[in-house]
Amino acid sequence: MNGGAAEDEGAGAAAPVVVHRPTGGHGRRVSIRAQAAGLAHSDADVIEFLRRAGLPDAEELLDDPRWVRWQGGRPHDYGTD
């Protein structure tokens, strides 16, 4: 991934999956290897995107900063409540 200051924060800077900041009550964009995967409204959506990308055991990857970087906001918060 190309890095800027915002891209390089935290241990997950090289993570292939990015869950972007909440979009004002409309969920969070998800990118896998810099390609748009979709808009997630829950962990189940992120898990489905990872499964479609061929990542087995996707549920176990959500809290692994080597795989998933949660950008802005709290992890697992989709701003849709």
Q: How are beta strands 28-32 and 17-22 bridged, if at all?
A: antiparallel
Do 69 and 19 contact (CB within 8 A), yes or no? yes
Question: How does pLDDT run across 5-28, given as a tens digit for each residue?
Answer: 333 344 445 899 999 999 888 999
10 Å CB burial of residue 10 (0-12, 13-18, 19+) is exposed
* pTM for this entry: 0.79
Q: What is the pLDDT of residues 45-67, one digit of tens each?
A: 999 999 999 987 899 999 999 99
